């Protein structure tokens, strides 16, 4: 069993390993303040990007359950493009996954991703247009979003006094994540791929529904 690590008592804490020295002079204090501001902005950007992804997932789920309602060219009296077969599949999924659990507390990002996964497995039209690996990437987005939302950032001293700098880490109970340029580049690519994948799937779904 992996031993859980202690979490810093507050955000932007300096984690000083045993035996390591730290001299907080005016220069380092200014650097600490700058790093605190920088990484708090990074946290906000991460959570904001995740909100955008979740909003796009909401739009895709809504289009799947209620097809054709957002067609700007349609009139209020037009019929929605829904077959009996697909309508029954949606009704059964809606009943099983949303009505039967009986608790709105389950409507979380994890629930939405699981719902999306089930829709893909039960609706061939959707399965045919969803990019490979999109669900797995959504799960990675959820995981890092939860970490940024619930765990503090700490700083690790680098170098020797009086020329020390502070590098950022996300201090989670199960592991410490280094917040360097490689990390931000990796997740920037992930967020972009997920957002584009959701947008393209929604666009293809609307086009497919208009042909049926």
- At 24, the pLDDT band (50, 70, 90 cuts) reads confident
Q: Name residue 167's beta-bridge partners.
A: 156
Nearest to 135 by CA among 116, 160, 163, 159: 116
Enter the pTM of the model.
Answer: 0.84
- Of 42-46, 59-63, 180-184, least confident by mean pLDDT is 59-63
Q: What is the mean pLDDT of residues 160-179?
A: 91
Q: Are 39 and 181 in contact (CB under 8 A)?
A: no
Which residues have CB under 8 Å from 121's CB, separation 6+?
127
């Amino acid at each position: 069993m992996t031993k859980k690590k202690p979490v810093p008592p507050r955000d932007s804490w300096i984690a000083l390993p045993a035996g390591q020295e730290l001299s907080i002079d005016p220069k380092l204090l200014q650097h600490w303040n700058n790093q605190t501001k920088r990484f708090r902005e990074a946290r906000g950007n991460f959570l904001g990007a995740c909100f955008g992804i979740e909003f796009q997932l909401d739009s895709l789920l809504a289009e799947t359950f209620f097809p054709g309602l957002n067609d700007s060219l349609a009139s209020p009296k037009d019929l929605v493009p829904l077959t009996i077969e697909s309508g029954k599949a949606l009704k059964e999924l809606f009943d099983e996954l949303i009505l039967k659990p009986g608790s709105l507390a389950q409507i979380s990002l994890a629930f939405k991703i699981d719902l999306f996964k089930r829709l893909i497995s039960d609706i061939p039209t959707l399965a045919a247009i969803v990019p490979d690996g999109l669900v797995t990437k959504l799960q990675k987005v959820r995981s890092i979003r939860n970490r940024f939302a619930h765990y503090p950032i700490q700083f690790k001293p680098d170098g020797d006094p009086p020329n020390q700098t502070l590098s950022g880490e996300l201090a989670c109970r199960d592991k410490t994540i280094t917040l360097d340029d490689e990390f931000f580049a990796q997740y920037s690519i992930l967020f972009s791929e997920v957002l584009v994948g959701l947008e393209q799937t929604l666009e293809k779904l609307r086009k497919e529904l208009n042909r049926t």
